């Protein structure tokens, strides 16, 4: 029994609530990634005839290809980019909404923002541990096309 005037706090509930609040705050990072990095890049990619052909070759007979990005620096929900013939979309996935993406990229904040637009920077980022590609050998073709789209190859 607690003393009068002292409020008992359910630490399990409070830590869970704090964790959800922290995750929601960190998910705002994905808004800036989408607005200032992905949107300009993918608008250029979809408007360039050569890159558009590359996307169509990658899709082949599939309706879509998905790239799932997980943040390694802080707790956040994963970010999903979906490529289609008519365009692309990107969204933050809720915890229970795990989608079977063809490519999964795990990266640090610095890696995603600074090192994800050139092949040389990306390779050095892999060596330094800024990036991890857990499914690279399972979906080698998908990784090849994604690298050509994102890294300008």
User: Helix, strand, or coil here: 9?
Assistant: coil
**Confidence class of residue 71 from pLDDT cuts 50, 70 and 90?**
confident
Tens of pLDDT, residue by residue over 109-150, are 888 877 667 788 888 888 989 989 887 788 899 999 998 888
For residue 8, which phi and psi values (nearest 5 degrees)?
-80, 140
CB 69 within 8 A of CB 113: no
Chain mean pLDDT for the chain = 81
Beta-strand ranges (E) seen in the chain are 64-71, 79-84, 87-92, 103-107, 131-132
DSSP letter assigned to residue 57: H
Q: All domains of the chain, ordered by start, with CATH?
A: 30-150 (3.30.1050)
Asked if residue 18 has pLDDT above 70, the reply is: no
Q: What is the CA radius of gyration of the chain?
A: 19
Q: How confident is the model at residue 74 (pLDDT cuts 50, 70, 90)?
A: confident
CB of 66 within 8 A of CB of 80?
yes
């Amino acid at each position: 029994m607690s003393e009068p005037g002292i409020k008992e706090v359910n630490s399990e509930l409070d830590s869970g609530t704090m964790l959800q609040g922290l995750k929601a705050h960190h998910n705002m990072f994905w808004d800036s990634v989408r607005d200032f990095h992905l949107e300009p890049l993918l608008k250029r990619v979809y408007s360039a005839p050569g890159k558009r052909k590359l996307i169509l070759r990658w899709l082949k007979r599939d309706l879509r290809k998905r790239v799932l990005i997980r943040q390694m620096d802080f707790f956040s929900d994963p970010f999903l980019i979906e490529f289609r013939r008519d365009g692309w979309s990107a969204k933050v996935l809720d915890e229970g909404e795990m989608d079977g993406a063809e490519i999964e990229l795990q990266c640090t904040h610095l890696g995603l923002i600074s090192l994800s637009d050139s092949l040389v920077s990306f390779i050095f980022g892999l060596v330094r541990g800024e990036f991890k590609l857990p499914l690279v050998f399972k979906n080698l073709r998908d990784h090849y096309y994604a690298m050509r789209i994102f890294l300008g190859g």
